[in-house]
Structure 1
Amino acid sequence: MPCSKTVIAVAISSLFSTSLLAEVAAEEAAKELSQLDAVTVTATALEDKKSTTANSTVIKAKQLEQQQVQRLEDMVRYIPGVSLTDQGRFGSAGFNIRGLEGNQVAMTVDGLSVGETLNPPTYAFYDFFAAGRGGIDPDAVKQIEIVKGADAIAAGSGSLGGAVLFVTKDAADYLEPEGNDTFVRLKAAYSGANDETQGTVTVANRTGKLEALAVLTKREGHEMENYADSAERQAITGSGRPVADPQDNSSHNILTKLKYQLTETQDIGLTAELFKADIDTNNLSWLSRSYLTRTSDDQQERSRIGLQYNWLAGHQLFDAFSTSLDYQKTQNDAFTLMLAPASAARLCTAGPCYRSEDRDYEQDLLKWAFALDKELHTQGSSHQLVYGGALEQKSVDFSAIDTSYVGQTMAVAKQEIDPDFVPETDADLWHLYLRDSIKFNDSAFSLISGLRYDHVAYSPTLNQGFTDATGTVQDASFSALTGQLVGTYQLTEQQSVALQLGRGFRAPSTEEMYFQTSSVSRTDKATGATVSGLYGSVSNPNLDAEYSTNLELAYQWQGENSRIKLAVFKDNYQDMIAIATRVQNPNTVYQNCTTSGCTETQGNAYTINENVGDVDVTGIEIQGAWRFGQNWSSQLAYTHHDGEKENGDPMITISPDKLVAGVSYRATDWWSLAANLSYSAEVKAEDAYETEDDGTQTALVTYLPNSSTVMDLVSTMEFGDNWLLNVGVYNLLDKEYYRWERIRYAASSRNNISADGILRYSEPGRYAKLSVSYSF
């Protein structure tokens, strides 16, 4: 439901980073190398970063343009160890960093969390609903920071394995530093991967003390192509369908900003943003005796409005002060319409007839944020302090309505309300933080230290949509103290080492604590009596928060025309949350009899979310960049991660080893060419199994992808100061390959696959992208 209380939320909408990690010579070399047409994104200037971890990556708007990014997945195409998770029909659940994903990786837009996922595993097979973490258009983004390793100070709850921090564009990004100015940019783009066309209009203006920006983007496309699509394959229906289901999708995004310069040191701003996507799918892969036809109409919407105030105070307590007040609404709607025979229609007595399932999930966030910084100098050191505090309010609301219609018309015959997945829930949050970046005079050593305290309180409401069948739903609260230490030592002018110790946390999601409870009735074999009120599924508001401890050692060599970085890490995740099966009344034998016979169970089994134990993830990450003369440059990055649960089982969410290498050639001032190669290792059976209580090992997926090597070729051409043309050919060698992040979802929780059905989850074969823009 909409937020109705007055809320004060302190967020780190703008953390002031420091340049204390390296000597001046190394910094200047880094700036030179940052001008490379990098294929694998590497470190850029520290002042662009919000996080001060030893391992974070900044991607600029120019790089997004050169890499022809049209979807969130494209953003991390060339960043090993980072991927986008898949939810089939419902898109992405967010990013995967070092084996953690979904709500375990923080995602923010201008400091606002994009919301939490809702995808109950027990309902995943039916493919009626899942709430992901999207609603971000790449053309509205001027910077993405990808943080590897825990950094709760910069990102808050969810930053266990890392965070992805988006920053939207400003008018000043396009205007001259001073004076009245106007900028207009028109852009058109096309992607052969899904026949998507895109148009973007960007207008920026400064008149006197007022700056204004408007970015409007419209996209129209279809389903993602699969390898070796054909008319013959398109004719196949059912779970063995080898190509993607037909789909029409459209989206529009509007970003507007106003900024007024009150004085030389103070300004105020207003931001309004609206993202809305509509996806219509003909679910041909679901056709069967139960579904004669099945179509879906899904919408995703994210809107926000915010006020900002900045003051370069030069005060004795702070040099700069910023504060903001934002309201954000995120909504996921899923409408599924099926033509079913009477035996499968549930709500109609004569068939075939239409029936529908309508699922809606709304999340609201109201947040007031402030941040301050202060530079101090003592006799032996200099300090850059960043500090602030927070209060905010979130709320979630879910609804589910099933409808049957009269025959094959849309006249309603019967309607019923399904139990909500989660209750209507309010959450109040507040946090305080302090971070100090210290440079010791005449010393090669620098230190960054920080602390943050968070408190989260949940208040669920029982109503007609959500009744507590087990009496286990109740208020819950969580508190967490997290911190960070990063020590850097400059060995020589070119070499440095950094040691990081970080602590992250994540409060349980609404789904994990309160997913719909249920009770069952069973027959006691000994007495023949029917026992009612036994547990079917139980909520668990007594869950502990998940925590992570990140230990990382990094070595960097920085020359005038080259850079090499090697990092090794060990992340330990404590109190991980997962669904567990428990037994109620284990000494009682229950009997269930049907026309086909009787079965017996020892006790009553039920499901509950619990803290199931710890997980260790270790890995090595290598990055390199080289410049050869004025025209040639090359880049390389490699990651290897291992993840192990407490019982020795592997983490299925660990991505396979990945190597990304590229060569760039700048022929002239206006034309450049880049060849990018991406290699992913195979996934073996030993990477995807779980051990049952009796010691039996069970495979978690039905398909394991082989290794793959994919090559892309991208060209950038600038004609004068006005025209920009980007042309790319992707999967140039037309290889058949599969992404593990898609396959493990499709071949496990959904499992609507038979015969050659797995082929519809292959990535596109060879395809082209084109974008052209004109600025004036």
Structure 2
Amino acid sequence: MRTAVNKPSVRLLWLACVVAMSGSLWAQEQKLPEVQVTAEAPEPDASAQINQQQVTAAELNEQQASQLADVVRYSPGVTLTNIGRFGSTGFNIRGMDGDRVAITVDGLALAERLDPSNLAPYAFFRSGRGGIELDSLKQVEILKGADALLAGSGSLGGAVLFQTKDPTDFLQTQGDESHAGIKLGFDGAYHERQFSVSAANRSGPVESMVLVSRRDGEQQRVPHKGDDVTGGARSIPEPLDNQSLNVLAKLQWQLQPEHRLGWTVEQFKANAEADERAKIGGTYLSRDTDDESRRRRIGMDYQWLAGSLWFDALSLKFDWQDTRNFGITKMLMNYATCPEGIQPCMRHEDRGFRQVQQRLALAFDKELSQGILHQQWLYGVGVERKRISSWRTNTHFLGESDQVGRSEAFAFVIPHIDIDQWYVLARDQVTLAGGSQWTLGLRYDGFNYKPELSELLQDQSGTITSGRFGNLSGQISYQYPLTDSQQLKAQWGRGFRMPSADDMYGGVSSSTVTDINGDTVVIWSSAANPDLKAETSQNLELAWSWQPARRQQLQLSVFRQDYRNLIESQVQTRLPDLQYQQCVRGECTLIEGNRYSQPQNIGRARVQGIELESLLQLNQAFSLRLAGSRQYGKDSQGEPLLSVSPANALASLRYQAPGQNWQLLTTVQHLAGKNEADTLQTQADGSRTSTVLQVPGSATVVDVNASWDLTAALQLQLGIFNLFDREYYRWDRMRFIYPGGGGPRGDVQPGTDGYRRFAEPGRYIKASVSYIF
């Protein structure tokens, strides 16, 4: 609940600035209009990025979004990476993905991922970045380009900012009121059944809500038939059962007209069980998986509409978040090391990753007007602590019984780590006479890494030590009104990503050997690097926008994104005078010097591109959206950047006749194929070969969505997706497929149709019905 006070609104003054930039108001008089409206506390997640897209809950509902990938399904230039068994590692924006694209929920970053590249082909464990229920979302803001100012670490390519619903999103009036609703849905792509219930209430100064969502699904449907065979030639998806449950509850108390206190509790849990028949082969007689992810969050926020000399409003937030990922792989194996020689035997690989976060953030906002100059200040500070841990247990059973024959427990990849972070930021948006606007911002982050060794993880290399560093980032943008309806925008931005726990300390290993003189020497296989620096990016962007009317707008932008200090593993040499003998399977080789791998800040890359976004209101009933993106990138060695997505474009036609209670949305999307030349990589012998098993071609896909408001309380939605049943593939899935013919490594047997099980869904329907009591 908001209470009116005698001061300008942050949000409406921002809208007034946008209107002023068109030049029409300034042509009449050279001063800002005075506005008296309801005040609000600062919006620390409101970005000043000139290239951004906002997707509201109404749009997600209209598009019948049910999977995380649906959030960006109609956002050219933005995709969701899919690594297979463990789902998504995040979004891909401008050639960056994983932890290099920031993801926040109500301003709090999601947990970092754990994904050692050398272990990825085994698919025993890779922690993702999911844990978001779409029905709980109020809005999604997609930032394209470096914007660390508000998104913080991970904002190399951009950021995706999720905002969850509040009680006011369910309550329609300003007085005491109650709400209850139910929604049932079905997604044919995964045979998913969805159920959610919502309840909200306002009683005097107290508003509350609870939203519970449940999903049950199966493996993805593909547009072709195939035999239920085992091994890497399998062309249809493997059997899968998954469930998720999300609970979101909020309580907000308007203590006084200027003071508000709020609490948030959110809990997400998902489980997936799969029969990995494509892995059967060699020593594997069967392989089943049981994976679970959990995210719990408790938040408290206080807002004060102070109207003081130094700030108009204050926002204080405290958040606690616990994220856990578990992966159990159950294998029936026929191999010589079975306990007591009983073959075949069961083996369980049990791995997990946990991150606990605590954050305290304080933000202020202040508006200043002096003659023809208007300023909108946002400044704040914050501290955060993360506690990261991982574990692994190998259990070998006696034959196919449940009796344990041998069990081994040890730390998985990384030690326990505490990461302390603090930041300070300030941003000023300055609007001048004539409608031009400057945005100037700076942010400084400090980090301190403190690893802990244990009996489960020892470090003979002595490289797992504390690390400390800082990073300065900023943003400068300028908007200039060319005419009443046209604007020219320019921006420079700097993003960064702090080294992850895996970057800093992952996979440290060493062994003891005897050199040719008979002396015992410790040699390193891989070492940590506590002296790593943050990865950084710089974004240069120029945009032209045209808005002759409220529902007529177009923006064309070109950009260049430069990445520096990217962390890559590099071979190093120590003890150059050391000589020792290394024997593998009976063959011995004389080794000179200790060669080992270590992460270094050596990577550089550049991504360039062009993006179009437009909306045209053709008449009272029809509107047309056109959008597209094309980008390309290379690293400092001239090698194509594999993470750059192919070009795509869409045209979306909406029909909604005035006074009618139904609407129809038809979207035609073209996905360009990946140029095979852009998948070639230079090998050690100088040859250039593709590292991708199957390069996807182009495809044009048509989706049709319809919705009916049968009554004021009852709504029905129906959609047909991939209307013409096209068989097509997405680059951000195909590039993570590993060759292999069954067994512990790889997904697909080369030379077979095994890759076809990774096709996108064929023709399928989505349907939902919702009722408000």
Per the shorter chain, which TM-score range? over 0.9
In the TM superposition, what is the alpha-carbon distance from 1:289 to its structure 2 partner?
2.7
CA contact (8 A) 1:348 1:405 kept: no
| Number of aligned positions between the proteins | 740
Partners of 1:583 and 1:205 in 2: CA distance: 66
| Aligned residue number for residue 308 of structure 1 | 301
What's the CA shift string for 1:42-79, capped at 9, x where partnerless? Answer: xxxx9997110110111000000011111110110010
Who is 2:244 aligned against?
Answer: 251
Of the structure 1 ranges 555-564 and 457-466, higher mean CA displacement relative to structure 2 is found in 555-564
Q: Are residue 242 (structure 1) and residue 231 (structure 2) matched?
A: no
5+ residue gaps, structure 2, are 1-9, 26-41
Q: Which amino acid aligns with 1:762?
A: A
Which residue identity is paired with 1:18? W
Amino acid at match of 1:439: T
Cα distance between partner residues in 2 of 1:321 and 1:47: 10
Residues 637 and 601 (structure 1 numbering): CA distance in 2 closer, same or farther, change over 3 Å?
farther
1:687-702 alignment runs, 5 A limit: 687-692=678-683, 695-702=686-693
Structure 2 counterparts to residues 27-176 of structure 1, below 5 A: 50-176=46-172
Instruction: Letter of the 1:380 partner, please give it.
Output: I
Mapped to 1, the partners of 2:474 and 2:443 lie a distance apart of 6
- Aligned ranges for residues 672-711 of structure 1 at < 5 Å? 672-692=663-683, 695-711=686-702
What SS does structure 2 have at the residue aligned with 1:296? strand
Q: Which amino acid aligns with 2:317?
A: S
* Separation (CA, whole Å) in 2 of partners of 1:515 and 1:664: 50
Q: Could you tell me whether the CA contact under 8 Å between 2:632 and 2:644 is conserved in 1? A: yes
- Partner residue of 1:201 out of 197, 204, 212: 197
Q: Find the partner of 1:578 among 568, 573, 586.
A: 568
Asked if the contact 2:291/2:328 (under 8 Å) is kept, the reply is: yes
What CA distance in whole angstroms lies between the structure 1 residues aligned with 2:653 and 2:337? 57
Note the C-alpha offset of 1:400: 0.4
Equivalent AA in structure 2 for residue 267 of structure 1: R
Letter in 2 for 1:753: V
Quick one: structure 1 residues 64 and 28, their matched pair in 2 at CA, closer, same or farther if it must change by over 3 Å?
farther
Shift in alpha-carbon separation, 1:244–1:16, aligned structure 2, 3 A:
farther
Which of 321, 344, 347 is matched with 1:355 structurally? 347
Secondary structure of the structure 2 residue equivalent to 1:103: helix
- Report what 2:531 is aligned to: 542
CA change 1:327–1:17 in 2 (3 A) is farther
Q: Is this contact kept in 2: 1:229–1:243, CA < 8 A?
A: yes
- 1-side partners of 2:11 and 2:449: how far apart? 27
Q: Distance in 2 between matches of 1:571 and 1:20?
A: 31
**1:404 equivalent in alignment to 2:364:** no
Match of 1:228 in 2: 224
Whether the aligned pair in 1 keeps the contact of 2:45 and 2:150 (CA below 8 Å) is no
> Structure 1, residues 105-161: CA drift from partner, whole Å, max 9, x if none?
000000111110101111111111011101000000110000001111110011111
Residue 290, structure 1, aligned to residue 283, structure 2: yes
Shift, 1:597, TM fit:
3.9
Q: Out of 645, 653, 666, which is 2:643 matched to? A: 653
8 Å contact 2:24–2:484 — kept in the other structure? no
Deviations along 1:294-349, one digit per CA (max 9) or x if unpaired, are 1111000000111111111111111111111111000000011111113264x563
Deviation at 1:80, TM superposition (A): 0.7
Q: CA deviation at 1:719?
A: 1.4
Which residue number corresponds to residue 369 of structure 1? 361
Superposition deviation, residue 19 in structure 1 = 3.4
- Matching residue within 254, 273, 277 for 1:280: 273
Q: Which amino acid in 2 is paired with 1:251? A: S
Could you tell me how far apart the structure 2 residues matched to 1:28 and 1:425 are?
A: 56
Q: CA 1:528–1:738 in structure 2 vs 1: closer, same or farther (change >3 Å)?
A: farther
Question: CA 1:291 to 1:204, structure 2 compared with 1: closer, same or farther past 3 Å?
Answer: same
Please tell me whether residue 190 in structure 1 is matched to residue 186 in structure 2.
yes
Q: 1:504 to 1:731 in 2, by over 3 A?
A: same
Task: Give the equivalent residue in structure 1 for 2:723.
Answer: 732
Q: Is 2:22–2:483's contact at 8 Å kept on the other side of the alignment?
A: no
CA contact (8 A) 1:356 1:404 kept: yes
Alpha-carbon distance in 2 for matches of 1:133, 1:17: 36
Indicate which of 746, 749, 755 corresponds to 1:751: 746
Residue type of the alignment partner of 1:622: L
1:637 and 1:469, CA in 2 relative to 1: closer, same or farther beyond 3 A?
Answer: same
Deviations 1:244-288 (A, max 9, x none): 110110010000000111011111111100000011111111111
Q: Residue 16 and residue 241 in structure 1: after superposition, are their counterparts in 2 closer, same or farther (change >3 A)?
A: farther
Given the two structures, how large is their TM-score scaled by the length of structure 1? 0.92
Per-residue deviation at 1:720?
2.1
Q: Secondary structure at the match of 2:665?
A: strand
Q: Report what 2:757 is aligned to.
A: 760
| Alpha-carbon separation, structure 2, partners of 1:748 and 1:757 | 10
Match of 2:258 among 252, 256, 265: 265
> What SS class does the counterpart of residue 284 from structure 2 fall into?
coil
Cα drift, residue 752 of structure 1: 2.2
Percent identical residues: 38
Contact 2:21 2:480 in 1 (8 A): no
Q: Which residue of 2 aligns with 1:555?
A: 544
Counterpart of 1:764 in structure 2: which amino acid? P
Report deviation, 1:507: 0.8
Amino acid at match of 2:569: I
Is the aligned partner of 1:387 residue 2:393?
no
